[in-house]
Chains A and B, each alone.
Chain A
Amino acid sequence: MTNKDFLKLEGKKSGISMDKIMTIFCYVALIAVVILPVFMIIYYTFWDGSKIDFEMFRSVLFQKENLRAMKNTLIIAVFATLFATLVGVFFAWLLGRSDIPMKGFMKFLFSIPFMIPPFLAAMSWDMMFSGRGGYVNKLLMSLFNLANAPLNINSIPGIIIIEVVYYFPFVYMQVVSALERMDPTLEESARIAGANQMYVIRKITLPLTVPAISSGVLLVLITSLSNYGIPSMVGYSKGIFTLPTMIVELMNRSGGSFVGIRQAAALSIVLVIVVAIALVIQRRLLTHGRYDIIKGKSMRPMLIKLRGAKIPLLVFSLFFLTLIVIAPIVMILLVSFNRAYGLPFTMENFTVMHYVNVFTKNAMVKDSVKNSLFLAFSAGAICLVLGTMLAYVIYKVKPKGGTILEMLAVLPYSLPGTVMSIGCILAWSGAFFGISLYNTIWIILVAYIARYLSYVLKSSSAALQQVHPSLEEAARSCGASHYEALKDVTLPLIKPAMLSGFFLVFLPCMRELTTSILLYGPKSRTLGVAIYQLRINGQINQAAALSVITILLIIIMNNLVKYITRDRRKL
């Protein structure tokens, strides 16, 4: 909508206010991107074309293959969450509360997993520890004269390890910020009361960080349950399926048949139920534990002297972080410059041929870069407008059913990406108004918008809630129209939040695999899909080269964001 349209709408002639138009628009948009896909999944699962049918759902639920996938999903999620929490809390304490040196460097290392897409990390771990010829495995075999590979990443423990490594920073981030903001006198008064250091950690510090820990746990649990990239990268070759990979598998097997799609839809519902149960359990556990631990004057917390344990802990931490953060990147880098996958890393085998090939010989790759940039930009821009409008409608217009709008907008965030994609396929392959987006780039765009809309909504609504109504009223009293007040006062005030919302959408879109692997068509492959397919086709070195390019793109964009936001603070 252009400004002129807004002005006209604001006039009394039309009889409908601008706020009302925006509210209606938000409803329409959310129906299209959220309600219809979700509805279609339920519809397909329980409607066999002529009548309501629970039989199919039951049979899918109790199919042996699916039961095994369900079991795998749960085992992986539970153990990955458990260990990620332990590791995350340990490092949070070490960096937040002890006097270990090199904190800045370690904090930097923690931020890296956030930038690397999980499926790339999984691919790299596969290169290192694959049972058949992973580089590190080979090294260990020759070093210790082993007959068999000592570690096999293509297993459930393997998947768990990768997920732990990838997810523990989530817990770390939550807990370390709680520790850093915690009022130090809470701990000091326990010391004065006669408690020693260990007692204080057990009885005061840990209980006080429980809320932070459990929100980290929730994040890891949900992400692990719905993760597609890691289990598909390392589990697929060994026939290890989880619910998300099984859904994709069913979809691929169906070849477009009605029954096949129905099965995938039914399994999606199973996955949603599992996630929902996890959410409910977590909420239950969390209810008694919301308290304010940030009070009084900010003071630097007392750092605990590690004394003798300092050096061993430092060595251990650096070794651990190098293994999990740096090694995967180095591995991908090495493979991308190696003549052929499996050859040793020597100077004779060094080549840049894969980088050249990726861009000259491979139309698919060129397409994918273009597509990903296009998708990320347009998804970011559309989410920016729609999300801010939503935030405005929900928090400023406050229409009846505003909470429904908010729930709808946030719903796809807790739905696994696989499920949203299935819904999009079902909804936009000609089911409504004859619109068929299947196999085009537009269906991916719709799915991206649905998945990432809540990011902008969150950042914009947080900013909007800080804009006191009196600011807009002051503008009105100075003679500005409702539209002018919005345009000249409110929007400029929340512009920084909108901008960061754009990048919150842009970055995950650039590294997306889960959604696009289900939705891509012959001409709409994304970066993630291209890497995935290169690898499946055995062009592992090219896959590595494209991965390096992807990571570079993400790092550049990330720094761009930081640069922009820093500039903003100066203003």
Chain B
Amino acid sequence: MTDQIVLEHVTKTFTTKELGSVTAVNDFNLTVKKGECFSFLGPSGCGKTTTLRMIAGFEDLSEGSIYLGGKLVSDRSKNIYIPPEKRGLGMVFQAFAVWPHLNVFENIAFPLKVKKFPKDEIRRRVLEAMHYCNLDGLEKTFPSDLSGGQQQRIALARAIVVNPEAMLLDEPLSNLDPHLRESMRFEIKRLQKEFGFTIIFVTHDQSEAMALSDRMLIMDMGNIQQIGTPWELYNNPKNRFVHSFLGQSNFINVDVRNGKVYPKGETSQQIWVDNKPSKNGEQVLACRPNMMELTKDDGFRCRIIKRTFKTDFVEYLIKVGEDSAIIQAPHRVLFKNGEECCVKIHNPAWYDLEDEAAEKERERRNVV
């Protein structure tokens, strides 16, 4: 497989009145392979959309370079900047951005008209794209008469009609209702299989990213936190941010002495874990609620504080040292409120104490 989209040391710095200088994207390095579906995931303001817009050519870089299909399209030091219309990309926006003054056919035909395709060729390709996007028979309709899902399919058809090598999707599903989102997700995947284009998918919805992507990355405050397959990111998160961002997690402050794990501020009993931390001292134990096992008398002894029935599992709240933790257990393991129990923690991750500088930066950005 060849490299479709390559970003090298891409950096973007803004200066705003309220914040002074902000690094929206910091030393971003990424290689997306041809035909790959790659997601950018992160909280709002993490820089994922800015990165996408730099790839599209709507934003200038402050440093670094971007290659599309092996061609250099943005480079600050060499003063190269190819405008968006010459990058040969397809793009779908959150707000659909279908043109209200053009009907469905004219909307989808627009990219072909700009490129001066012959008329019958335009007609053939537009109808084909409409067919693939389940828009048959709507040629003469105006977008305002269509539903959100249909409008988004127009946007999709408009993007695939020129057969782009790569497609940029900027939260394309977040304006749709949950049910529609599910089916559009499926549709995008189907179209990708059909046409074989590369996808960069920006989203803040983790289940969307997990379901769609071959690989994904998680960003925070302009920095890539981790790149990998959805499975890797969920099961082997590199740091506390990734751990907490994907799925549910418990964080328990612990004190490790001689390889033994004690809850912080408690020395009476150690926590049962099946992989030991690599070092001693105060640190944070992280684990998923479904990786904690409740037993009658084997493990860390504690009490059930609260029990909540969820449809597919039972959720228990317990206290480990000063921290509370949530356990998801199958219905067959049943404890009462206030009952004594024991906890085993499987495959926990070990992180250093929270980085205060990072917290401060996060607060500074959230002021606006």
Chain A residues in contact with chain B, CB under 8 A? Answer: 183, 185-186, 188-197, 199, 203-204, 207-208, 210, 289, 291-293, 295-297, 302
With A193-B110, A293-B100, A296-B175 as given contacts, are A188 and B58 in contact (CB-CB < 8 Å)? yes
CB of B95 within 8 A of CB of A296, answer: yes
Interface centre among B86, B101, B115 (most CB of A within 10 A): B101
5 inter-chain pairs at a CB distance below 8 angstroms, sorted by A residue, are A191-B83, A208-B99, A296-B97, A296-B175, A302-B58
Q: How large is the interface on B (under 10, 10 to 19, 20 to 34, 35 or more residues)?
A: 20 to 34
**Identity of the chain B residue whose Cβ is nearest the Cβ of A294 in the assembled complex:** B95
**Identity of the chain B residue whose Cβ is nearest the Cβ of A211 in the assembled complex:** B101
> Complex Cα distance A23/B90, Å?
59
Q: How far is the CB of A531 from chain B (nearest CB, A)?
A: 44
Q: How far is the CB of A62 from chain B (nearest CB, A)?
A: 44
Please tell me if B236 contacts chain A, counting CB pairs below 8 Å. no
Interface centre among B57, B99, B111 (most CB of A within 10 A): B99
> Complex Cα distance A218/B101, Å?
21
> Complex Cα distance A192/B82, Å?
12
> Complex Cα distance A188/B162, Å?
16
Q: How far is the CB of A45 from chain B (nearest CB, A)?
A: 44
Inter-chain contacts of B155 with A (CB < 8 A): 189
> Complex Cα distance A250/B56, Å?
67
Q: What would 12 more interface pairs be, CB under 8 Å, given A192-B84, A192-B87, A208-B100?
A: A186-B97, A189-B93, A189-B155, A192-B89, A193-B114, A195-B110, A196-B83, A208-B101, A289-B101, A291-B144, A296-B93, A296-B175
With A185-B93, A189-B158, A296-B93 as given contacts, are A195 and B99 in contact (CB-CB < 8 Å)? no
> Complex Cα distance A190/B89, Å?
11
CB of A188 within 8 A of CB of B158, answer: no
Inter-chain contacts of A183 with B (CB < 8 A): 95, 97
Please tell me if B91 contacts chain A, counting CB pairs below 8 Å. yes
Please tell me if B350 contacts chain A, counting CB pairs below 8 Å. no
Please tell me if B85 contacts chain A, counting CB pairs below 8 Å. yes
CB of B99 within 8 A of CB of A188, answer: no
Q: How far is the CB of B260 from chain A (nearest CB, A)?
A: 51
Q: Which of B93, B100, B114, B175 contacts A195 (CB 8 A)?
A: B114
Inter-chain contacts of B87 with A (CB < 8 A): 192
The A/B interface has a contact count, at CB < 8 Å, of 80
CB of A204 within 8 A of CB of B115, answer: no
Q: Which of A186, A188, A204, A297 contacts B84 (CB 8 A)?
A: A188
> Complex Cα distance A196/B144, Å?
26
**Identity of the chain A residue whose Cβ is nearest the Cβ of B144 in the assembled complex:** A291
**Identity of the chain B residue whose Cβ is nearest the Cβ of A296 in the assembled complex:** B95
Q: How far is the CB of A74 from chain B (nearest CB, A)?
A: 30
Inter-chain contacts of B88 with A (CB < 8 A): 194
> Complex Cα distance A195/B144, Å?
23
Q: Which of B91, B100, B144, B175 contacts A189 (CB 8 A)?
A: B91
Please tell me if B316 contacts chain A, counting CB pairs below 8 Å. no
Please tell me if B94 contacts chain A, counting CB pairs below 8 Å. yes
Q: Which of B58, B99, B115 contacts A194 (CB 8 A)?
A: B115
> Complex Cα distance A262/B91, Å?
67
**Identity of the chain A residue whose Cβ is nearest the Cβ of B116 in the assembled complex:** A194
CB of A297 within 8 A of CB of B95, answer: yes
CB of A191 within 8 A of CB of B85, answer: yes
Inter-chain contacts of B84 with A (CB < 8 A): 188, 191-192
Inter-chain contacts of A190 with B (CB < 8 A): 99, 110
Closest 10 CB pairs of A and B: A296-B95, A291-B100, A193-B111, A185-B97, A185-B93, A191-B84, A189-B97, A192-B91, A194-B114, A295-B95
CB of A292 within 8 A of CB of B93, answer: no
**Identity of the chain B residue whose Cβ is nearest the Cβ of A188 in the assembled complex:** B58
Inter-chain contacts of B159 with A (CB < 8 A): 192
**Identity of the chain B residue whose Cβ is nearest the Cβ of A204 in the assembled complex:** B99
Please tell me if B251 contacts chain A, counting CB pairs below 8 Å. no
CB of B95 within 8 A of CB of A194, answer: no
Please tell me if B96 contacts chain A, counting CB pairs below 8 Å. yes
**Identity of the chain A residue whose Cβ is nearest the Cβ of B89 in the assembled complex:** A192
Q: How far is the CB of B327 from chain A (nearest CB, A)?
A: 38
Interface centre among B88, B89, B100, B168 (most CB of A within 10 A): B100
Inter-chain contacts of B57 with A (CB < 8 A): 191
Inter-chain contacts of A188 with B (CB < 8 A): 56, 58, 84, 91, 93, 97
Q: How far is the CB of B215 from chain A (nearest CB, A)?
A: 24
> Complex Cα distance A433/B111, Å?
71
Inter-chain contacts of B96 with A (CB < 8 A): 295-296
> Complex Cα distance A199/B86, Å?
14
CB of A194 within 8 A of CB of B162, answer: yes
Q: Which of B85, B86, B99, B168 contacts A186 (CB 8 A)?
A: B99
Q: How far is the CB of B34 from chain A (nearest CB, A)?
A: 20
> Complex Cα distance A197/B86, Å?
12
> Complex Cα distance A190/B94, Å?
15
Could you tell me which residues of chain B, from 47 to 106, have a CB within 8 Å of some CB in chain A? 56-58, 83-91, 93-97, 99-101
Q: Which of A193, A197, A291 contacts B158 (CB 8 A)?
A: A193
Inter-chain contacts of A293 with B (CB < 8 A): 100
Q: How far is the CB of B68 from chain A (nearest CB, A)?
A: 13
